[in-house]
Amino acid sequence: MKKINVGIIGFGNVGSGVVRILRERRTMLSGKIGTQINIKKIVDANITTKRNVSVEKCLLSKKVSDILDDPQIDVVVELIGGIHPSKEFICEALKKGKHVVTANKALLAQHGKELFALAQDCGKRIYFEASVGAGIPIIKSLREGLVANKFNSIFGIVNGTSNYVLSSMSGKNCSFSEALREAKQKGFAEKDPTFDIEGIDSAHKLIILIFLCFGKFVDMSEVFIEGISSISISDINYAKELGFSIKLLAIAKREGDSLEVRVHPTFVRDSHMLASVDGVFNAIYVSSDLAGDLLFYGPGAGQLSAASAVVSDLVDLTQDLKAGMFRPTLNSIQDASIKKLRKINEFESRYYIRFSALDKPGVLATISGVLSKFGISIASVTQKQRAKAKSVPIVMVIHEAREKNLRQALEIIDRLNIIKEKSVAIRIEDI
Protein backbone atom coordinates (compact mmCIF):
# COMPACT_ATOMS: atom_id res chain seq x y z
CA MET A 1 0.00 0.00 0.00
CA LYS A 2 1.25 3.47 -0.92
CA LYS A 3 2.26 5.63 2.05
CA ILE A 4 2.49 9.41 2.46
CA ASN A 5 4.50 10.91 5.28
CA VAL A 6 3.08 13.84 7.22
CA GLY A 7 4.80 16.38 9.45
CA ILE A 8 2.56 18.27 11.87
CA ILE A 9 3.57 21.72 13.15
CA GLY A 10 1.46 22.47 16.19
CA PHE A 11 0.42 19.85 18.74
CA GLY A 12 -2.24 21.89 20.51
CA ASN A 13 -5.97 21.29 20.58
CA VAL A 14 -6.54 20.73 16.85
CA GLY A 15 -3.13 19.13 16.27
CA SER A 16 -3.70 16.50 18.92
CA GLY A 17 -7.16 15.91 17.45
CA VAL A 18 -5.65 15.24 14.03
CA VAL A 19 -3.15 12.79 15.53
CA ARG A 20 -5.94 11.08 17.44
CA ILE A 21 -8.10 10.61 14.32
CA LEU A 22 -5.20 9.37 12.20
CA ARG A 23 -4.28 6.88 14.93
CA GLU A 24 -7.75 5.65 15.86
CA ARG A 25 -9.15 5.55 12.31
CA ARG A 26 -6.00 4.31 10.58
CA THR A 27 -7.48 1.01 9.36
CA MET A 28 -10.73 2.57 8.21
CA LEU A 29 -8.98 5.39 6.35
CA SER A 30 -6.47 3.08 4.68
CA GLY A 31 -9.28 0.83 3.54
CA LYS A 32 -11.23 3.71 2.05
CA ILE A 33 -8.41 5.53 0.28
CA GLY A 34 -5.93 2.73 -0.42
CA THR A 35 -3.14 4.81 1.10
CA GLN A 36 -1.52 4.87 4.51
CA ILE A 37 -1.21 8.33 6.08
CA ASN A 38 1.88 8.11 8.27
CA ILE A 39 2.77 10.69 10.93
CA LYS A 40 6.54 11.01 10.67
CA LYS A 41 7.17 13.99 12.95
CA ILE A 42 5.23 16.32 15.29
CA VAL A 43 6.74 19.68 16.22
CA ASP A 44 5.59 21.95 19.03
CA ALA A 45 7.17 24.45 21.40
CA ASN A 46 5.81 22.34 24.27
CA ILE A 47 6.28 18.60 23.94
CA THR A 48 6.00 17.67 27.61
CA THR A 49 2.39 18.58 28.45
CA LYS A 50 0.09 15.57 28.41
CA ARG A 51 -2.40 15.45 25.52
CA ASN A 52 -5.49 13.32 25.02
CA VAL A 53 -3.53 11.11 22.65
CA SER A 54 -0.29 9.26 23.29
CA VAL A 55 2.58 9.27 20.80
CA GLU A 56 6.06 7.85 20.78
CA LYS A 57 8.72 10.26 22.05
CA CYS A 58 10.73 9.78 18.87
CA LEU A 59 7.95 11.50 16.92
CA LEU A 60 8.15 14.69 18.99
CA SER A 61 10.49 17.61 18.39
CA LYS A 62 10.82 21.31 19.06
CA LYS A 63 12.72 21.93 15.83
CA VAL A 64 10.64 22.83 12.76
CA SER A 65 13.67 22.00 10.61
CA ASP A 66 13.09 18.34 11.52
CA ILE A 67 10.03 18.55 9.29
CA LEU A 68 11.02 21.12 6.68
CA ASP A 69 14.42 19.56 5.98
CA ASP A 70 13.21 15.96 5.87
CA PRO A 71 12.96 14.90 2.19
CA GLN A 72 10.78 11.93 3.15
CA ILE A 73 7.97 14.16 4.45
CA ASP A 74 5.42 14.80 1.70
CA VAL A 75 2.95 17.03 3.53
CA VAL A 76 3.27 19.74 6.17
CA VAL A 77 0.22 20.34 8.37
CA GLU A 78 0.42 23.84 9.89
CA LEU A 79 -1.75 24.26 12.99
CA ILE A 80 -0.05 26.93 15.08
CA GLY A 81 -2.10 29.85 13.74
CA GLY A 82 -1.16 33.50 13.54
CA ILE A 83 0.82 35.20 10.79
CA HIS A 84 4.44 34.75 11.86
CA PRO A 85 6.19 32.34 11.83
CA SER A 86 3.38 30.36 10.16
CA LYS A 87 3.84 32.20 6.88
CA GLU A 88 7.58 31.52 6.82
CA PHE A 89 7.04 27.83 7.62
CA ILE A 90 4.49 27.40 4.82
CA CYS A 91 6.65 29.24 2.28
CA GLU A 92 9.66 27.11 3.18
CA ALA A 93 7.61 23.90 2.97
CA LEU A 94 6.36 24.77 -0.52
CA LYS A 95 9.82 25.71 -1.75
CA LYS A 96 11.13 22.38 -0.49
CA GLY A 97 8.55 20.47 -2.49
CA LYS A 98 5.97 19.73 0.20
CA HIS A 99 2.21 20.16 0.01
CA VAL A 100 0.56 22.12 2.84
CA VAL A 101 -2.59 21.64 4.88
CA THR A 102 -3.59 24.53 7.14
CA ALA A 103 -6.48 25.82 9.26
CA ASN A 104 -4.98 29.32 9.41
CA LYS A 105 -7.76 31.69 8.30
CA ALA A 106 -5.96 34.86 9.42
CA LEU A 107 -2.90 34.00 7.34
CA LEU A 108 -4.92 33.06 4.26
CA ALA A 109 -7.08 36.18 4.54
CA GLN A 110 -4.07 38.48 4.70
CA HIS A 111 -1.50 36.64 2.57
CA GLY A 112 -3.49 34.00 0.69
CA LYS A 113 -2.97 35.54 -2.74
CA GLU A 114 0.81 35.45 -2.27
CA LEU A 115 0.84 31.94 -0.80
CA PHE A 116 -1.41 30.44 -3.47
CA ALA A 117 0.78 31.99 -6.18
CA LEU A 118 3.87 30.49 -4.57
CA ALA A 119 2.19 27.09 -4.36
CA GLN A 120 1.36 27.33 -8.06
CA ASP A 121 4.96 28.22 -8.92
CA CYS A 122 6.23 25.29 -6.85
CA GLY A 123 3.74 22.84 -8.36
CA LYS A 124 2.23 22.16 -4.95
CA ARG A 125 -1.13 22.68 -3.26
CA ILE A 126 -2.43 24.36 -0.14
CA TYR A 127 -5.46 22.68 1.40
CA PHE A 128 -7.53 24.72 3.88
CA GLU A 129 -10.94 23.18 4.58
CA ALA A 130 -10.64 23.78 8.34
CA SER A 131 -10.10 27.52 7.88
CA VAL A 132 -13.85 28.26 7.71
CA GLY A 133 -16.60 26.51 9.64
CA ALA A 134 -14.35 23.83 11.19
CA GLY A 135 -15.90 20.49 10.14
CA ILE A 136 -18.56 22.03 7.86
CA PRO A 137 -17.44 21.10 4.30
CA ILE A 138 -18.04 24.59 2.95
CA ILE A 139 -14.72 25.05 1.09
CA LYS A 140 -15.05 21.82 -0.88
CA SER A 141 -18.72 22.49 -1.59
CA LEU A 142 -18.10 25.97 -2.98
CA ARG A 143 -15.03 24.99 -4.97
CA GLU A 144 -16.25 21.67 -6.36
CA GLY A 145 -19.90 20.89 -5.61
CA LEU A 146 -21.09 24.31 -6.82
CA VAL A 147 -18.41 24.83 -9.47
CA ALA A 148 -20.87 25.80 -12.23
CA ASN A 149 -22.71 28.36 -10.11
CA LYS A 150 -22.54 32.12 -9.95
CA PHE A 151 -23.17 33.51 -6.50
CA ASN A 152 -25.42 36.36 -5.43
CA SER A 153 -24.73 36.56 -1.70
CA ILE A 154 -23.16 35.01 1.38
CA PHE A 155 -24.59 35.39 4.88
CA GLY A 156 -22.51 33.60 7.49
CA ILE A 157 -22.53 33.00 11.22
CA VAL A 158 -18.88 31.98 11.25
CA ASN A 159 -17.68 32.74 14.78
CA GLY A 160 -18.79 30.38 17.53
CA THR A 161 -17.74 32.63 20.41
CA SER A 162 -19.88 35.58 19.33
CA ASN A 163 -22.81 33.35 18.50
CA TYR A 164 -22.58 31.69 21.91
CA VAL A 165 -22.55 35.08 23.67
CA LEU A 166 -25.57 36.38 21.74
CA SER A 167 -27.44 33.09 22.23
CA SER A 168 -26.76 33.17 25.99
CA MET A 169 -27.94 36.77 26.26
CA SER A 170 -31.15 35.80 24.46
CA GLY A 171 -31.79 32.49 26.20
CA LYS A 172 -30.75 33.46 29.75
CA ASN A 173 -31.63 37.17 29.69
CA CYS A 174 -28.13 38.05 30.86
CA SER A 175 -25.79 40.92 30.03
CA PHE A 176 -23.01 40.85 27.45
CA SER A 177 -20.31 40.71 30.15
CA GLU A 178 -22.07 37.84 31.95
CA ALA A 179 -22.47 35.85 28.74
CA LEU A 180 -18.83 36.41 27.77
CA ARG A 181 -17.67 35.35 31.25
CA GLU A 182 -19.63 32.12 30.91
CA ALA A 183 -18.17 31.50 27.43
CA LYS A 184 -14.67 31.80 28.87
CA GLN A 185 -15.50 29.45 31.75
CA LYS A 186 -16.77 26.82 29.31
CA GLY A 187 -13.77 27.19 27.01
CA PHE A 188 -15.78 28.76 24.18
CA ALA A 189 -13.87 32.05 24.34
CA GLU A 190 -10.17 32.88 24.45
CA LYS A 191 -8.61 34.70 27.37
CA ASP A 192 -8.47 37.70 25.03
CA PRO A 193 -11.63 37.34 22.89
CA THR A 194 -11.15 40.58 20.94
CA PHE A 195 -10.76 38.95 17.51
CA ASP A 196 -13.99 37.02 18.05
CA ILE A 197 -16.35 39.56 19.59
CA GLU A 198 -15.14 42.48 17.48
CA GLY A 199 -15.74 40.64 14.21
CA ILE A 200 -12.13 40.28 13.06
CA ASP A 201 -12.17 36.48 12.97
CA SER A 202 -15.42 36.58 10.99
CA ALA A 203 -13.84 39.02 8.51
CA HIS A 204 -10.90 36.66 7.94
CA LYS A 205 -13.28 33.84 7.07
CA LEU A 206 -15.44 36.08 4.90
CA ILE A 207 -12.42 37.03 2.79
CA ILE A 208 -11.77 33.35 2.06
CA LEU A 209 -15.42 32.74 1.15
CA ILE A 210 -15.44 35.79 -1.15
CA PHE A 211 -12.46 34.47 -3.08
CA LEU A 212 -14.12 31.10 -3.53
CA CYS A 213 -17.45 32.61 -4.63
CA PHE A 214 -16.37 35.71 -6.53
CA GLY A 215 -12.73 35.07 -7.44
CA LYS A 216 -11.53 38.24 -5.73
CA PHE A 217 -9.18 38.70 -2.80
CA VAL A 218 -10.44 41.52 -0.59
CA ASP A 219 -8.08 43.39 1.69
CA MET A 220 -8.99 43.55 5.39
CA SER A 221 -9.11 47.34 5.11
CA GLU A 222 -11.93 46.97 2.56
CA VAL A 223 -14.18 45.02 4.95
CA PHE A 224 -16.51 47.05 7.16
CA ILE A 225 -16.23 45.45 10.63
CA GLU A 226 -18.38 46.08 13.68
CA GLY A 227 -18.45 43.78 16.71
CA ILE A 228 -21.07 42.83 19.28
CA SER A 229 -19.67 44.47 22.42
CA SER A 230 -22.19 47.34 22.23
CA ILE A 231 -25.20 45.00 22.11
CA SER A 232 -27.28 45.19 25.31
CA ILE A 233 -29.89 42.85 26.74
CA SER A 234 -32.40 45.59 25.93
CA ASP A 235 -31.55 45.28 22.23
CA ILE A 236 -31.91 41.50 22.43
CA ASN A 237 -35.34 41.78 24.04
CA TYR A 238 -36.59 44.51 21.73
CA ALA A 239 -35.51 42.38 18.77
CA LYS A 240 -37.64 39.51 20.11
CA GLU A 241 -40.66 41.79 20.40
CA LEU A 242 -40.20 42.82 16.80
CA GLY A 243 -39.85 39.20 15.62
CA PHE A 244 -36.07 39.17 15.12
CA SER A 245 -32.90 37.63 16.51
CA ILE A 246 -29.53 39.42 16.61
CA LYS A 247 -26.65 37.59 14.92
CA LEU A 248 -23.12 38.61 14.04
CA LEU A 249 -23.19 38.11 10.27
CA ALA A 250 -20.39 38.04 7.72
CA ILE A 251 -22.00 39.37 4.56
CA ALA A 252 -20.98 39.56 0.92
CA LYS A 253 -23.82 40.76 -1.27
CA ARG A 254 -23.92 41.66 -4.92
CA GLU A 255 -25.73 44.91 -5.66
CA GLY A 256 -25.75 45.61 -9.40
CA ASP A 257 -22.12 45.81 -10.53
CA SER A 258 -20.74 46.19 -7.00
CA LEU A 259 -20.13 43.98 -3.99
CA GLU A 260 -20.87 44.81 -0.36
CA VAL A 261 -18.42 43.27 2.10
CA ARG A 262 -19.22 43.67 5.80
CA VAL A 263 -19.32 42.08 9.25
CA HIS A 264 -21.70 43.42 11.88
CA PRO A 265 -24.54 42.59 14.28
CA THR A 266 -27.71 42.09 12.28
CA PHE A 267 -31.43 41.75 12.90
CA VAL A 268 -32.47 38.45 11.27
CA ARG A 269 -36.17 37.63 11.09
CA ASP A 270 -37.08 34.71 13.36
CA SER A 271 -38.64 32.83 10.45
CA HIS A 272 -35.25 32.55 8.71
CA MET A 273 -33.09 29.49 9.33
CA LEU A 274 -30.09 31.57 10.45
CA ALA A 275 -32.08 32.91 13.41
CA SER A 276 -32.25 29.41 14.93
CA VAL A 277 -28.47 28.85 14.84
CA ASP A 278 -27.49 28.96 18.53
CA GLY A 279 -24.50 28.33 20.75
CA VAL A 280 -21.13 27.67 19.14
CA PHE A 281 -22.72 26.42 15.93
CA ASN A 282 -21.91 28.05 12.59
CA ALA A 283 -24.02 28.40 9.47
CA ILE A 284 -23.24 29.74 6.00
CA TYR A 285 -26.19 30.67 3.79
CA VAL A 286 -25.31 31.11 0.13
CA SER A 287 -27.50 32.16 -2.77
CA SER A 288 -26.52 30.83 -6.20
CA ASP A 289 -28.05 31.00 -9.66
CA LEU A 290 -28.25 27.27 -10.40
CA ALA A 291 -28.48 25.44 -7.07
CA GLY A 292 -30.56 28.16 -5.43
CA ASP A 293 -30.30 28.99 -1.73
CA LEU A 294 -28.25 26.61 0.41
CA LEU A 295 -27.50 26.44 4.13
CA PHE A 296 -24.37 24.76 5.51
CA TYR A 297 -24.67 24.12 9.24
CA GLY A 298 -22.64 22.48 11.99
CA PRO A 299 -20.26 22.97 14.92
CA GLY A 300 -17.98 25.91 14.13
CA ALA A 301 -15.33 24.99 16.65
CA GLY A 302 -14.07 22.07 18.66
CA GLN A 303 -11.09 19.80 18.55
CA LEU A 304 -12.50 16.91 16.56
CA SER A 305 -14.69 19.03 14.28
CA ALA A 306 -11.71 21.07 13.04
CA ALA A 307 -9.46 18.00 13.02
CA SER A 308 -12.01 16.19 10.85
CA ALA A 309 -11.62 18.91 8.20
CA VAL A 310 -7.82 18.64 8.32
CA VAL A 311 -8.01 14.87 7.82
CA SER A 312 -10.41 15.43 4.92
CA ASP A 313 -7.77 17.61 3.27
CA LEU A 314 -5.15 14.93 3.82
CA VAL A 315 -7.38 12.36 2.16
CA ASP A 316 -7.98 14.65 -0.84
CA LEU A 317 -4.25 15.16 -1.13
CA THR A 318 -3.52 11.43 -1.07
CA GLN A 319 -5.93 10.89 -3.95
CA ASP A 320 -4.23 13.59 -6.00
CA LEU A 321 -0.82 12.09 -5.30
CA LYS A 322 -1.99 8.58 -6.18
CA ALA A 323 -3.36 9.82 -9.48
CA GLY A 324 -0.17 11.73 -10.21
CA MET A 325 -2.34 14.77 -10.74
CA PHE A 326 -1.63 18.40 -9.99
CA ARG A 327 -4.64 20.60 -9.36
CA PRO A 328 -4.01 24.29 -8.73
CA THR A 329 -4.83 25.35 -5.18
CA LEU A 330 -7.56 27.66 -6.40
CA ASN A 331 -8.60 27.97 -10.00
CA SER A 332 -11.15 30.67 -9.21
CA ILE A 333 -12.19 33.11 -11.93
CA GLN A 334 -13.08 36.64 -10.95
CA ASP A 335 -16.68 37.57 -11.65
CA ALA A 336 -16.24 40.19 -14.37
CA SER A 337 -19.67 41.66 -13.72
CA ILE A 338 -18.46 42.95 -10.34
CA LYS A 339 -16.71 46.25 -11.02
CA LYS A 340 -16.14 47.62 -7.52
CA LEU A 341 -16.52 47.20 -3.78
CA ARG A 342 -19.12 49.48 -2.23
CA LYS A 343 -17.96 51.78 0.55
CA ILE A 344 -19.82 51.68 3.85
CA ASN A 345 -21.34 55.11 3.26
CA GLU A 346 -22.97 53.80 0.08
CA PHE A 347 -24.72 50.88 1.81
CA GLU A 348 -28.48 51.00 2.15
CA SER A 349 -30.41 49.10 4.78
CA ARG A 350 -33.33 49.12 7.14
CA TYR A 351 -32.30 49.84 10.71
CA TYR A 352 -33.34 49.30 14.29
CA ILE A 353 -32.41 52.37 16.37
CA ARG A 354 -32.51 52.76 20.14
CA PHE A 355 -32.34 56.24 21.65
CA SER A 356 -32.04 57.06 25.34
CA ALA A 357 -33.92 60.32 25.78
CA LEU A 358 -35.50 62.55 28.38
CA ASP A 359 -39.16 61.77 28.99
CA LYS A 360 -40.66 65.11 28.02
CA PRO A 361 -43.02 66.50 25.37
CA GLY A 362 -41.58 67.16 21.93
CA VAL A 363 -38.73 64.62 22.08
CA LEU A 364 -40.14 62.38 19.35
CA ALA A 365 -40.88 65.36 17.14
CA THR A 366 -37.32 66.64 17.53
CA ILE A 367 -35.76 63.26 16.67
CA SER A 368 -38.05 62.60 13.73
CA GLY A 369 -37.42 66.12 12.46
CA VAL A 370 -33.68 65.50 12.25
CA LEU A 371 -34.19 62.14 10.54
CA SER A 372 -36.56 63.76 8.05
CA LYS A 373 -33.94 66.33 7.04
CA PHE A 374 -31.74 63.44 5.86
CA GLY A 375 -34.55 61.74 3.96
CA ILE A 376 -34.98 59.00 6.57
CA SER A 377 -38.50 57.60 6.92
CA ILE A 378 -39.74 55.98 10.15
CA ALA A 379 -41.59 52.66 9.86
CA SER A 380 -42.47 52.30 13.55
CA VAL A 381 -41.66 53.93 16.87
CA THR A 382 -42.21 52.87 20.46
CA GLN A 383 -41.44 54.64 23.73
CA LYS A 384 -40.88 51.56 25.81
CA GLN A 385 -41.55 52.78 29.36
CA ARG A 386 -42.67 55.78 31.29
CA ALA A 387 -41.14 55.82 34.73
CA LYS A 388 -39.31 58.03 37.18
CA ALA A 389 -36.06 57.30 35.39
CA LYS A 390 -34.12 60.28 34.07
CA SER A 391 -34.23 58.83 30.56
CA VAL A 392 -36.38 56.36 28.64
CA PRO A 393 -35.61 54.18 25.63
CA ILE A 394 -37.21 55.06 22.32
CA VAL A 395 -37.10 52.26 19.77
CA MET A 396 -37.50 52.97 16.07
CA VAL A 397 -37.46 50.88 12.94
CA ILE A 398 -36.73 52.92 9.84
CA HIS A 399 -37.30 52.21 6.19
CA GLU A 400 -34.32 51.60 3.93
CA ALA A 401 -31.83 54.45 4.24
CA ARG A 402 -28.32 55.20 3.08
CA GLU A 403 -25.69 54.56 5.77
CA LYS A 404 -24.07 57.95 5.25
CA ASN A 405 -27.35 59.79 5.82
CA LEU A 406 -28.19 57.82 8.93
CA ARG A 407 -24.76 58.37 10.50
CA GLN A 408 -24.95 62.10 9.86
CA ALA A 409 -28.42 62.26 11.41
CA LEU A 410 -27.36 60.29 14.48
CA GLU A 411 -24.34 62.54 15.04
CA ILE A 412 -26.68 65.51 15.26
CA ILE A 413 -29.24 63.70 17.41
CA ASP A 414 -26.61 62.43 19.87
CA ARG A 415 -25.49 66.02 20.49
CA LEU A 416 -28.99 67.15 21.52
CA ASN A 417 -29.45 67.85 25.25
CA ILE A 418 -32.50 65.58 25.27
CA ILE A 419 -30.34 62.54 24.42
CA LYS A 420 -28.57 60.97 27.41
CA GLU A 421 -26.58 58.14 25.81
CA LYS A 422 -25.05 57.35 22.43
CA SER A 423 -27.69 55.95 20.11
CA VAL A 424 -27.52 52.32 18.97
CA ALA A 425 -28.23 51.45 15.32
CA ILE A 426 -28.35 47.85 14.10
CA ARG A 427 -28.91 46.87 10.47
CA ILE A 428 -31.86 44.74 9.46
CA GLU A 429 -31.31 42.17 6.70
CA ASP A 430 -34.35 40.77 4.89
CA ILE A 431 -32.65 37.59 3.74
Cα–Cα distance measured from residue 18 to residue 107, given in angstroms and rounded to the nearest whole number? 20
Cα–Cα distance measured from residue 114 to residue 91, given in angstroms and rounded to the nearest whole number? 10
Q: CB-hemisphere CA count at 13 Å for 257?
A: 4
Given a contact cutoff of 8 angstroms between Cβ atoms, the answer to whether 277 and 266 are in contact is no
Burial of 30 (0-12, 13-18, 19+ CB in 10 A): middle
Residue 372 identity (one-letter amino acid)? S
Cα–Cα distance measured from residue 382 to residue 359, given in angstroms and rounded to the nearest whole number? 13
Q: CB-hemisphere CA count at 13 Å for 42?
A: 25
Q: Which of 374, 375, 359 is nearest to 411 (CA)?
A: 374
CB-based contacts of 220-223 (< 8 A; 24+ apart in sequence)? 220/109, 220/110, 222/261, 222/341, 223/261, 223/262, 223/263
Dihedral of CA 369/226/304/21: which sign? Answer: positive
Cα–Cα distance measured from residue 399 to residue 349, given in angstroms and rounded to the nearest whole number? 8
Q: Looking at the annotation, which residues are catalytic?
A: 205
Helix axes 105-122, 200-214, angle to 10 degrees: 40
Torsions phi, psi for 152 (to 5 deg): -100, -35
Burial of 155 (0-12, 13-18, 19+ CB in 10 A): buried
E strand intervals along 289-347: 293-299, 340-341
CA distance readout (Å), 215 to 210, 257, 313:
7, 15, 21
- Our measurement of the distance from residue 398's CA atom to the centroid of its chain's CA atoms, rounded to an integer in Å, reads 28
Cα torsion at 42, 44, 48, 50 (round to 10°)? -70
- Tell me the pairing of strands 126-127 and 99-102: parallel
Residue-wise DSSP of 244-267:
EEEEEEEEEEEETTEEEEEEEEEE
